[in-house]
Structure 1
Amino acid sequence: MTFQRFYNMWFDQLRQLVHQLSQAPRPPTTDDHHQQLRQLVQKTMSHYSEYYRTKAVAAKDDVLAFFSSPWSTALERSLHWIGGWRPTTAFHLIYTESSILFESHVVDILRGFHTGDLGDLSPGQFRRVSELQIETVQGENDITDELSDWQDDASDLMGKTGGEVDRKMERLARILERADQLRLKTIETLVELLTPQQAAEFLVAAAELHFGIRGWGIEQDRRRENS
């Protein structure tokens, strides 16, 4: 199976999972509801893990394909950081969703009622999110520096033998894998520090952002092709 075919199947399955997350009772009011939501969150995270495992294997054979990313739209590629979404985007999403939900429930929250959603993050959760953001920014910078070093040596490719070029590509594949590991670690750590309800809301918001950008990108590509 080509990676593009895998990606299309994976993307369709993500839509199904997000639909299930969206339909799950929130806030969960029974033990069954809590268990259902927890299982759906775990299933979604396993789905992301499968994506990055498959991508790492495929990149060993053709790492350059993951920088050109033919299965993505031009808009998606314009937003990519080392073959995928920038990890710190997750924090902007958390803060945005938290702010929107807080404003919509501010009267209830000020009265002491807890909504349990992303607008009701505790001080401890906010502190941990902030600490994780700092760690992730540092991780991004380190990987960006490594890619910069790889690019600085690009002139060395001229006149190199097949084995030397292969080693150069293997190093690029390792850089891509580091970036993907940071992407996955960021999601996993955020989900761990959130409650199941908050994690479900975060995963739905992240996927809807993904769906929206991809949908708009497809429309822009069609217009460009027909112009």
Structure 2
Amino acid sequence: MWTSSSSDTPKEKSSDQKSLRRLAQNREAARKSRLRKKAYVQQLESSRMKLAQLEQELQGTRQKGKFSLGSGDQSHSTSGVLVFDAEYARWIDEHSKQIAELRTAVNAHASDAELRTAVDNVTTHFDDIFRIKSTAAKVDIFHVLSGMWKTPVERCFIWIGGFRSSELLKLLLNQLEPLTEQQLTSICNLQLSSQQAEDALSQGMEALQQSLAETLANGSAGPLDPSGHVGNYMGQMAMAMGKIGTLEGFLHQADNLRQQTLQQMHRILTTRQSAQALLAINDYFSRLRSLGSLWLARPYE
């Protein structure tokens, strides 16, 4: 006896339709997954290319820094570091000439007016080196801060790209005689305020270095990490670059302190005392440079 299976047909059809829907859903999910993966890979490649471009641009900036020193003949594109080193060498030569003129005026017992002119020339010339350093810092702040433009011995004493004002004032206290009680008090107060400002800047530099180290240490993924942290890496580098950018401000503040200290020193001292002070400062730095040159020229065993 033949029995019809028509009663099972709706169930079979319903089961087949569910299977087809699941297959369609799986295919659609797989298609979307492939699209997402493709978009992610494209984004990863785009980020990698942007990072490579950024690193190339940074390298080019370090190697081919460009800046103008204000003169038409010097405004052509060139290496900022080499321009700065050349400008500093010229500054030293001119400074030596002005110091020689000042020393001649002092030894010849020139009038106060003539001596004042010579003192003002040297003081104004100090302003030039601060301007040159400020311009060079925009190209390579690390070159200026490290003191690579100075001799090895000078670099041992460098502080944020230059000399410590408080140390120079301490030197002058032993060189300038006679000083009135009021002058002595004023110089001691200036030395104290300079020391406090230097300590504050030094603490700021230490805090910046610590913050920069923490920024770099907090990233666990490299630029090509397969986990997809390229964006995080680039953001981390951008944050670190921003912090490095603040170094220029520290140099500006340190040079401003040096400049103000020299100006305050001249207000405290008489014209002849200012002349003696400038000669003493020059002699000190000259001995440092000479010692550095002797060190470089020492015979090797």
Which category of TM-score, normalised to the shorter sequence, fits these structures? 0.7 to 0.9
Could you say what the CA RMSD is over the residues aligned between the two structures, in angstroms? 1.8
Number of the residue aligned with 1:205: 280
Gaps in structure 1 of 5+ consecutive residues: 99-118
Residue 202 (structure 2) aligns with: 144
Aligned to 1:40, which of 118, 127, 130?
A: 118
Contact 2:147 2:158 in 1 (8 A): no
Deviations 1:101-149 (A, max 9, x none): xxxxxxxxxxxxxxxxxx1211111111111111111101110111011
Measured after TM superposition, the shift of residue 66 of structure 1 is 1.2
Whether the 8 Å CA contact 1:90–1:187 is kept in 2: the answer is no
Q: Is the 8 A contact 2:165 2:191 kept in 1?
A: no
CA distance in 2: counterparts of 1:203 and 1:87, whole angstroms: 13
- TM-score by structure 1 length? 0.83
More deviation, 162-171/85-94: 162-171
CA–CA separation in structure 2 for the residues paired with 1:196 and 1:160: 56
Of structures 1 and 2, the larger Rg is shown by 2
Q: Distance in 2 between matches of 1:75 and 1:160?
A: 39
- SS for the counterpart of 1:212 is helix
Gaps of 5+ in 2: 1-73, 75-82, 218-232
> What is the aligned counterpart of 1:189 among 261, 264, 286?
264
Higher relative contact order (CA 8 A, sep 6+): 1
For the pair 1:220 / 2:299, whether they are aligned, the reply is no
Q: Secondary structure of the equivalent of 2:279?
A: helix
For the residues of structure 2 that align with 1:94 and 1:27, how far apart are their CA atoms?
Answer: 22
Equivalent pair of 2:102/2:119 in contact (CA under 8 Å): yes
What's the offset of the Cα at 1:191?
A: 1.3
The percentage of aligned residue pairs carrying the same residue is 26
State whether residues 136 and 144 of structure 2, in contact with CA within 8 Å, keep that contact through their aligned partners in structure 1: no
TM-score (norm 2): 0.64
1:180 aligned to which of 244, 248, 255: 255
Letter in 2 for 1:171: T
Q: Verify the 8 A CA contact 1:125 1:194 in the aligned structure 2.
A: yes
What count of residue pairs does the alignment treat as equivalent? 203
Determine if the alignment matches structure 1 residue 17 to structure 2 residue 98.
yes
Aligned partner of 1:131 in structure 2 is: 189
